[in-house]
């Protein structure tokens, strides 16, 4: 079930090196092949999506599976509280070189530019790793007012070795402890101490509590149920998006 301990150590070393950089590389629009050509190192970049012309900073993974990934979520040490209200999840929080959530508004601005894919890298406390990749990904793709509409998730075309724990959430609106958009009688975010595209309620809870491995409570940690079940909170998760190959070739 658990693979890739050596890969985990290499990734940790890579993160340590890349975060020592002090000068960001400035790019425009998105992490396309042209952007990758500007700098092959992982680190802080600035992007200027069409619908967010002021731009914003992101952390870019330029090495995993060819690079070009914009990181939209990272959990790694429990230093940041992820049990937050709607406004925080809309605007983003944390430090982009460490634990953070990029922001629903920013993820939406990126994903409506074209066709995107999503990769989720996971690690447990035994330093084993797994990943899930989705050839289709977007947030609020068909929304006139994405905030009012709840930033619905579009995801599909799974591959990887972590198992598909996200398909159940396809089409769902985002729920936080103060804004209930799920299909449960209870507020899933409040009940499972997270924020997510909950249905009734979840098979993945990557914004849950940082509970450090096996726990006696149910499904309220950083869970990816198809890999480690509902009572194991992961050490590391990283969600990242990039244009699909067909989009890059346009």
238: phi then psi, degrees, rounded to nearest 5: -145, 120
The pLDDT value recorded for residue 53 is: 87
pLDDT band at 245 (very low <50, low <70, confident <90, very high): confident
Q: Which CATH architecture has domain 5-248?
A: Alpha-Beta Complex (3.90)
The pLDDT value recorded for residue 76 is: 98
Give the tens place of pLDDT for each residue, 20-63. Answer: 333 333 343 444 444 444 557 999 999 999 888 899 999 999 99
pLDDT band at 209 (very low <50, low <70, confident <90, very high): very high
**Domain residue ranges of the chain, discontinuous segments joined by +:** 5-248
User: Where does the chain have alpha helices with state H?
Assistant: 5-18, 33-38, 86-91, 104-111, 146-149, 188-191, 225-228, 245-248
The pLDDT value recorded for residue 85 is: 99
pTM of this structure: 0.86
The pLDDT value recorded for residue 38 is: 52
How many angstroms separate the Cα of 166 from the Cα of each of 40, 121, 209?
Answer: 30, 13, 18
pLDDT at 64 over 70: yes
Burial of 126 (0-12, 13-18, 19+ CB in 10 A): exposed
Burial of 56 (0-12, 13-18, 19+ CB in 10 A): middle
């Amino acid at each position: 079930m658990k693979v890739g301990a050596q890969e985990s150590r290499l990734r940790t070393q890579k993160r340590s090196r890349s975060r020592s950089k002090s000068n960001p590389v400035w790019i425009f629009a998105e992490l396309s092949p042209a952007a990758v050509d500007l700098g092959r190192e992982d680190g802080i970049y600035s992007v200027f999506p069409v619908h967010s012309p002021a731009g914003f900073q992101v952390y870019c993974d330029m090495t995993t599976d060819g690079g070009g990934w914009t990181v939209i979520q990272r959990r790694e040490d429990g230093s940041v509280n992820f049990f937050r209200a709607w406004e925080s999840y809309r605007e983003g929080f944390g430090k982009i070189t460490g634990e953070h959530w990029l922001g629903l508004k920013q993820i939406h601005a990126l994903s409506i530019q074209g066709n995107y894919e999503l990769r989720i890298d996971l690690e447990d406390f035994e330093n084993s790793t797994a990943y899930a990749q989705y050839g289709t990904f977007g947030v609020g793709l068909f929304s006139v007012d994405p905030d009012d509409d709840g930033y619905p998730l579009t995801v599909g075309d799974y591959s990887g070795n972590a198992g598909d724990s996200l398909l159940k959430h396809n089409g769902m609106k985002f729920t936080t402890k103060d804004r209930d958009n799920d299909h449960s009688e209870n507020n899933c975010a409040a009940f499972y101490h997270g924020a997510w595209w909950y249905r009734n309620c979840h098979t993945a809870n990557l914004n849950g509590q940082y509970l450090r491995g096996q726990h006696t409570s149910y499904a309220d940690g950083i869970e990816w149920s198809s890999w480690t079940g509902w009572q194991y909170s992961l050490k590391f998760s990283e969600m990242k998006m990039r244009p699909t190959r067909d989009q890059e070739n346009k």
